[in-house]
Structure 1
Amino acid sequence: MIQIFPVHDKAQLKSFIDFPHDLYKGDPFYVPELFIAQRDLLSRHPFLKHSEMQLFLAMDGKKLVGRIAAILNNNHNRFNGTNEGFFGFLDAVDNIDVFKALTDAALAWLKEKGVHSVIGPVNPSTNETCGMLVEGFDSAPMIMMTYNRPYYNTYMQQLGFGKKTDLLAYLLQRDDLNDKSMRLMESLKQRLAQKGITIRKGNLKNFRQEVDGLRKVYNEAWDKNLGFVPMTDEEFDYMAKDMKLVLDPDFCLVAEHEGKAIGFVLAMPDINQVQRKVKRGRLLPTGIFKLLFGRKKINAIRIIALGITEPYRKMGIEAVFYGMVMKSGLEKGMQQAEASWILEDNEMMNRGIQHINGKVYKKYRLYEKAL
């Protein structure tokens, strides 16, 4: 019989974090999350200052067989004028009864909070990892992307969860790139300069001021995306601090108009290529060295974010961003780039990636269910 237990102490939290390592043992595409990062995300992240999250474990006798989080994102509901709940961090063995017990527990907790529908998976919001893999099970996820086995989707549909939207991941191969953006880059930069718009590399030496400018762009440029909720100052700072550890300024570009940030693109080396080898996500005793010395062998990047504030779109800034990132990637010997995630109905972004020969190679789904 499947029993569900809420997580209340450090030992249970450790079990919650470690469960996927056992579930995916031997899977060549599984990438363990770093224990320290997951512990902080689930127990002391700034998200928890404005919202609520309850973690649950599923037990079959003495055996741990699944986990889930029920999430009430108060900022999301305030910003979007909605009354929605979320679920996330869902992992379970290949058994529909376990999925039902877990989702029933999360939905019951959310129903008590008075929400009318539930969306997920988000971990714990669309500002972090989200989506359930529905296509592209033949390769490992890139940095800050999710992974699961095909049976997850079968069971979600059988339990009455419907598709809300799909999130697309495009693969750009070195030998297939359309280099038009690179060829037009200099002339586009000159044309933008005549309008007072310049594009530069991110400034890690003045990181504090840089983050302040990019936060404003992020909260303006993404405000119409499905599921978007502005990050608080603390949330953005938290994310930026984490990213700085693997940030390469050649892949972080800022567009400015008369000194004011109006757009940015952020790509990051695919640290997952190294993190796959960090046993159970522990940095000690050897994991830290694998991360430090393995970075030089990384041959792929992920374009995580590209945003431009409303008045400056369709001026060629996007093309310059792509051109500069492509040029830096080729110079550094990168063989692949992933552009993700992009909403399936974001026509402008999808056309832009397709124009440089990007091909959809993974799809992630957000499910929803009325309560």
Structure 2
Amino acid sequence: MPFDSHGADITIVPVRTRAELTRFIKLPIRLNAGDPNWITPLMMERAEALSPKTNPFFEHAEVQLWLAVRGGRDVGRISAQIDALAPQTPGLKTGNFGLIAAEDDAVIFSLLFRAAEDWLRARGCVRALGPFNLSVNEEVGLLVDGFDTPPMVMMGHDPAYTGGRVEEQGYAKAKDVYAYLCDPTADLPAVVVALGDRIRLNNWDEAAFIVLLPNVNEAIADLKGKLLPFGWAKLLWRLKVSGVKSARVPLMGVKRKFADTMRGQLLPFHLMNAGRNASLALGYTQFEFSWVLEENMPMRRISEAMGATIYKTYRIYEKTL
């Protein structure tokens, strides 16, 4: 699929070989080289995430990756995927795009999206939604606000121009998701303390969970994506000995049978407070609660009652094909 741009052909190349996959993975490193807030992911982890041999997502999804090449140099990339397990609206079959990264060039973005959209149409999709890298359980959305700080573990970071280039291809906002930042050392509002006391005084069995992950990105920031020869030792030392100073809460849930009860509605406050206390005990100076859908007002109110503030916004785009 050649296209002339600035005097040189752009070719969209389907990723087929291990060497092409390696180029696909490494491209964002060059594109973000001048960004002090970019953190190079571990190459080994990225290779496993994009391999059908090691990522179970491929067992129920069809995935295609492409590279944009100009003058022998990789200048862009994109994925398209259809997850057989994703809920579908009758008559509105939806496929996804993801892993979008390219030089700031409208032609490159146009050709990449043309390839992804043609692939989705050929499989009966009438709507494209993304970016998902690769699924809703991994990195979701494109960073559109909050470029001035590094991303936490399992969160994305994109050049500021990317959102505008995506919109030029006819994509519009489907919804935003937020990342909240919380200072665990800050005093809790009295109402939150009272709610936590109310749960304890009732002395009932808790039926909920929260997951607090150390921010591995903080530990790998200077490893340049490599664990060998000595990166693994630095990583282990930072995680086990010197420690990291930040964390992320990616998962929190209340058992369905309690969700609509008064106690169930109080539990998220208790869980967030548990995350706060764990952060203090582990020496974390901040933790991120993400991602939160913009329409999820109960969780937004809880986060803000805990003193957390939105510091990053990720956008999910859609387009009728």
TM-score between both structures, scaled by the size of structure 2? 0.90
2:236 is the alignment partner of 1:292: yes
Alpha-carbon contact 1:267-1:302 (below 8 Å) kept: yes
2:308 is the alignment partner of 1:308: no
Alpha-carbon contact 2:178-2:291 (below 8 Å) kept: yes
Tell me which of 18, 26, 30 is aligned to 1:22. 30
Shift of 1:134: 0.5
Question: Which whole-Å CA distance do the structure 2 matches of 1:116 and 1:140 have between them?
Answer: 35
The answer for unaligned runs of 5 or more in structure 1 is 199-254, 256-262
Alpha-carbon contact 1:179-1:323 (below 8 Å) kept: no
Q: How does 1:136-155 map to 2 (within 5 A)?
A: 136-155=146-165
Matched to 2:22, the amino acid is K
Distance verdict in 2 for CA 1:41–1:347, change over 3 Å: same
Residue number in structure 2 paired with 1:204: none
Distance verdict in 2 for CA 1:77–1:312, change over 3 Å: closer
Tell me which of 256, 270, 276 is aligned to 1:320. 270
Q: How does 1:145-224 map to 2 (within 5 A)?
A: 145-178=155-188, 180=190, 181=192, 184-193=195-204, 197-198=205-206
Map Cα deviations across residues 211-259 of structure 1 (whole Å, 9 max, x no partner): xxxxxxxxxxxxxxxxxxxxxxxxxxxxxxxxxxxxxxxxxxxx3xxxx
Map Cα deviations across residues 160-198 of structure 1 (whole Å, 9 max, x no partner): 1000000011111245452544565354134142xxx13
Residue number in structure 1 paired with 2:145: 135
SS state at 2:85 partner: helix
Question: Which whole-Å CA distance do the structure 2 matches of 1:343 and 1:177 have between them?
Answer: 26
Map Cα deviations across residues 87-116 of structure 1 (whole Å, 9 max, x no partner): 011111111111111111101111101100
SS state at 1:363 partner: strand
Shift of 1:309: 2.9
Shift of 1:343: 0.2
SS state at 1:43 partner: coil
Where is the helix percentage greater, Structure 1 or Structure 2?
A: 1
Map Cα deviations across residues 31-51 of structure 1 (whole Å, 9 max, x no partner): 122222211211121111111
Residue number in structure 2 paired with 1:83: 93
Q: How does 1:1-371 map to 2 (within 5 A)?
A: 1-44=9-52, 45-77=55-87, 81=90, 82-178=92-188, 180=190, 181=192, 184-193=195-204, 197-198=205-206, 255=207, 263-279=208-224, 281-295=225-239, 296-313=242-259, 314-315=262-263, 316-371=266-321
Question: Which whole-Å CA distance do the structure 2 matches of 1:46 and 1:7 have between them?
Answer: 19
Question: Which whole-Å CA distance do the structure 2 matches of 1:89 and 1:177 have between them?
Answer: 39
Shift of 1:153: 0.7
The count of aligned residue pairs is 303
The answer for unaligned runs of 5 or more in structure 2 is 1-8
Map Cα deviations across residues 121-143 of structure 1 (whole Å, 9 max, x no partner): 00111111111000001000001
Matched to 2:313, the amino acid is K
Matched to 1:265, the amino acid is I
Question: Which whole-Å CA distance do the structure 2 matches of 1:138 and 1:299 have between them?
Answer: 18
SS state at 2:174 partner: strand
Map Cα deviations across residues 69-100 of structure 1 (whole Å, 9 max, x no partner): 0111111145x555101001111111111111
Question: Which whole-Å CA distance do the structure 2 matches of 1:335 and 1:97 have between them?
Answer: 43
Shift of 1:20: 1.1
Question: Which whole-Å CA distance do the structure 1 matches of 2:85 and 2:312 have between them?
Answer: 29
Overall identity of the aligned pairs, in %? 33
TM-score between both structures, scaled by the size of structure 1? 0.78
Residue number in structure 1 paired with 2:6: none
Alpha-carbon contact 2:184-2:277 (below 8 Å) kept: no
Question: Which whole-Å CA distance do the structure 1 matches of 2:47 and 2:308 have between them?
Answer: 35
